[in-house]
Structure 1
Amino acid sequence: MDIESADRYGSRKAYQRAGPSQGVPDRANKVCFHWQAGRCNRHPCPFLHAELPQPMSTDGGAARRGQHQSFISRNPSTGCAPTSKWGKGRVGGKAPDKVCNYFLSGKCTYGEKCRFLHSWSIGDSFSLLTPLQGHQKVVTGIALPSGSDKLYSGSKDETVRVWDCQTGQCTGVINMGGEVGCMISEGPWIFIGVPNAVKAWNTQTATDQSLDGPIGQVYALVVSNGMLFAGTQDSCILAWKFNVAGNLFEPAASLSGHRLAVVSLVAGGMKLYSGSMDHTIKVWNLTTFQCIQTLTDHTSVVMSVLCWDQFLLSSSLDRTVKVWVPTESGNMEVTYAHNEEHGVLALCGMHDAEAKPVLLCSCNDKSIRVYDLPSFNERGKIFSKEEVRAIQVGPGGLFFTGDGTGELKVWRWLSNSMPTL
């Protein structure tokens, strides 16, 4: 019997006789993934070091498909407005972006001879100003209350640190008595989510209040329509309204419907959007507090939600960022889906030095991708020692990131002004 040893794709002799079949990869016609990323070191490489030509459509133009043209058209039967420009104009290829892990840990001995990057970022439109060190665990929230010259950061090390914006020095450490799950600011107020409570602190009057009601950790906070909303570990969303006469927050509503913890919240257009560990996004009417739609396109935890104009952006551990748009009926529908190689932990929208919209996507490979909107062209990357869970826009072209080691970094767009989305 004439038997030849099989390689990883089966019998080599049968493959050479019959040519590639449906179940066998054709290496000669496959582009090298590492070459596309600019870091292939195989000589010779069994895959192509060249882009394949775009397939031609019947009218002679290149077919609009492929990983860099993943635009999803809306259902024409809905009779809604023309499709958006999300994802159009993306260009292929990426610059070499393999950062040296030994550099990140401060132990690389190759110095300038190292073939990997010794940099905390790639991109020429922003720069690192300074790191702020002090937290012992992951940074989960960053806040800049109005009228204050202080920066506040919360962490799972159960503390909130106060930083002087002029000197970068830590001027105070507040023990919260529990892990800080999230933190936001609204006007002079700072709201801090901890287990079984939300702490409210007015930085101008030095008054504070503990808002009881949550069960378990508070993972997300947002202020809208004169109310504070909190997403909790027990799958509920609690709301409080500020009583001016009594100078305190009073319970206003409880929104139930998710099956697991609510980990992300955003409000826009008199609607509240909640992302949950149950893989769904719920849309709530802020007048009636009723759930008016449940979005089920994600297949893992919805880590972050963001409003941009009439669009909703959502990210998930399923490695996608989805862009939603309301149809004529008012329901939200996916108009574009962007794929990442890793799970997406956090989204933050802002404008660059030329007032162009930019999206920062923190992924669980310890990097932040910086994209132009709406094209999703990648224009840079930010690296960190551990995953970045908190991103916050600041005044004067500043933005802040906090990673899993407890380190804060202050970044600056190369401009003096930057409006937020």
Structure 2
Amino acid sequence: MERDRERRSPNSMDLDMNGGDKRVFQRLGGASNQKVCFHWRAGRCNRYPCPFLHRESPPPAPFPGSSSSTNNKRIADDDSGFAGSSHRRGPGSGNNTWGRFGGNRTVTKTEKLCKFWADGNCPYGDKCKYLHCWSQGDSFSLLTQLDGHQKVVTGIALPSGSDKLYTASKDETLRIWDCASGQCTGVLNPGGEVGCMISEGPWLLVGMPNLVKAWNIQTNVDLSLTGPVGQVYSLVVGTDLLFAGTQDGSILVWRYNTATNCFDPAASLTGHTLAVVSLYVGANRLYSGSMDNSIKVWSLDNLQCVQTLTEHTSVVMSLICWDQFLLSCSLDNTVKIWAATQGGNLEVTYTHKEEYGVLALCGVHDAEAKPVLLCSCNDNSLHLYDLPSFTERGKILAKQEIRSIQIGPGGIFFTGDGTGQVKVWKWSTQPTAIHP
């Protein structure tokens, strides 16, 4: 022990040039910590010694979650006149994200939402290198934000003949919003976690564990459709049939009976080996996407599977039809475009690649009636692409991933994210050039 004490004597290398204990100094942060004290900036730091700087330090350290490496920090802090972020940018933005400083510092923005700004407390203001906005693009704008849900929004619906918007969440509630005022006018508790919600005419259809709830908002008829095993993840209506994709991989079918105003069990479609998470009806076909990475094509005439598509390598999250094409997206980072061959089978004609997994697709027409694809990714962004070129024309950002997208009347569309926020957007009307 005496030898250990001698090795740790005041003459050892543990003391710096000013006589301080390096180990304690480094443990507190010391000069090696280049972050500026948040409390000092606010004029109320009472720590002594404070482990952070009490002066501005160009450039500020990256926020938590930045992919900047230690080497990049050193380059940014040197005297070369260059600084910037090594954060990976979105598709089509190029690889070089360095910005040059002149006499006055210019902040190079990355394509990532500032988490501190989203929470209302970013200390960097205009000097922050992350985005202080919910969207990029001039063809649409944010109208309002609807707060109230505590968990991910799993469904957004506008029942026919109603002036109310309905939103559903995994927080086991449905919220009713007045479309004129944007105020929440009611909260419904269906009795379980909501996996999905759609509307068809006056019917509000809600997928829950082991059942589907059906409410007629005009007559107040309340039905419980039993039969599903596990959570109901997806719902779709085709002609007079209601389809429900379930956790056990089956698709349950009910036929609407106009005489009794009820839904009668019609069939159970089997073939998927894991949960069915996406359904779409188009061209007299039912398309189903599953956690087993496959898409099945069913004939609405006899409810038989006519083809199985296996080109995706992860969960098939969403399906839509556009023109004569089927569009599918997956957590394998791709959107695939399918077209029918002369024999009638679907084949991939184009694969669009994203940097992250793709969660949801929605087709819409802009103010000039041009087709646009809304494509949500699990990096908390939603891309807007012109079809068929896939030219990006804008981006919407959120605190967490956008799981629900719904089109409304008059150029309005809605997005719901993982935090429970619902945002209302509107396409901007662009003047049309008049040529003589």
CA distance in 1, matches of 2:94, 2:421: 28
Could you tell me which of 302, 319, 331 is aligned with 2:345? 331
Could you tell me which of 315, 319, 340 is aligned with 2:354? 340
Answer yes or no: is 1:40 the counterpart of 2:97: yes
Question: Which residues of structure 2 form unaligned runs of 5+?
Answer: 1-86, 102-108, 431-436
CA apart distance, 1:206:
1.1
Structure 2 partner of 1:273: 287
CA apart distance, 1:116:
2.3
Alignment of 1:13-92 (within 5 A): 36-37=93-94, 40-41=97-98
Alignment of 1:8-407 (within 5 A): 36-37=93-94, 40-41=97-98, 97-407=111-421
CA distance in 2, matches of 1:236, 1:265: 12
Q: Is the 8 A contact 2:373 2:384 kept in 1?
A: yes
- 1:365-406 CA distance string (max 9 Å, x none): 000011000000011000001011000000011000000110
Instruction: Go from structure 1 to structure 2 and tell me whether the alpha carbon gap of 1:33 and 1:171 turns closer, same or farther (over 3 Å shift).
Output: closer
CA distance in 2, matches of 1:36, 1:287: 47
Aligned length: 335
- 1:31-65 CA distance string (max 9 Å, x none): x9769447623889xxxxxxxxxxxxxxxxxxxxx
Structure 1 partner of 2:21: none
Could you tell me the TM-score, scaled by structure 2's length? Answer: 0.74
CA distance in 1, matches of 2:324, 2:241: 21
Q: Is the 8 A contact 1:387 1:404 kept in 2?
A: yes
CA distance in 2, matches of 1:112, 1:366: 22
CA apart distance, 1:112:
1.9
Could you tell me the TM-score, scaled by structure 1's length? Answer: 0.77
Q: Is the 8 A contact 2:169 2:193 kept in 1?
A: yes
Q: Is the 8 A contact 1:271 1:286 kept in 2?
A: yes
CA distance in 2, matches of 1:145, 1:386: 27
Q: Is the 8 A contact 1:195 1:217 kept in 2?
A: yes
3-state secondary structure, aligned to 1:103: helix
CA distance in 1, matches of 2:117, 2:132: 6
Larger Cα Rg: Structure 1 or Structure 2?
A: 2
State the one-letter code of the partner of 1:238: L
State the one-letter code of the partner of 2:288: S
CA apart distance, 1:114:
1.9
Q: Is the 8 A contact 1:322 1:334 kept in 2?
A: yes
CA distance in 1, matches of 2:365, 2:226: 37
- 1:234-277 CA distance string (max 9 Å, x none): 10001111111111110011100000000000011110000000
CA distance in 1, matches of 2:216, 2:409: 20
CA apart distance, 1:125:
0.4
CA apart distance, 1:110:
1.5
- 1:17-37 CA distance string (max 9 Å, x none): xxxxxxxxxxxxxxx976944
CA distance in 1, matches of 2:251, 2:300: 12
- 1:336-393 CA distance string (max 9 Å, x none): 0000000000001000111000001110000001100000001100000101100000
- 1:285-305 CA distance string (max 9 Å, x none): 111111000000000000000
Q: Is the 8 A contact 2:113 2:398 kept in 1?
A: no
Instruction: Go from structure 1 to structure 2 and tell me whether the alpha carbon gap of 1:114 and 1:33 turns closer, same or farther (over 3 Å shift).
Output: closer
CA apart distance, 1:113:
2.3
Q: Is the 8 A contact 2:110 2:129 kept in 1?
A: no
**Identity of matched residues, %:** 67
3-state secondary structure, aligned to 1:191: strand
CA apart distance, 1:334:
0.3
After TM superposition, the runs of 4+ consecutive aligned structure 1 residues lying more than 6 A away are none
CA apart distance, 1:129:
0.6
RMSD: 1.8
State the one-letter code of the partner of 1:388: I
CA apart distance, 1:127:
0.3
CA distance in 1, matches of 2:297, 2:121: 48
- 1:157-205 CA distance string (max 9 Å, x none): 0011000001111111110111100000111111000000000111111
State the one-letter code of the partner of 2:359: L
State the one-letter code of the partner of 1:283: V
3-state secondary structure, aligned to 1:265: strand
CA distance in 1, matches of 2:397, 2:96: 17
Q: Is the 8 A contact 1:132 1:407 kept in 2?
A: yes
Q: Is the 8 A contact 1:38 1:96 kept in 2?
A: no
Q: Is the 8 A contact 2:329 2:359 kept in 1?
A: yes
CA apart distance, 1:117:
1.7
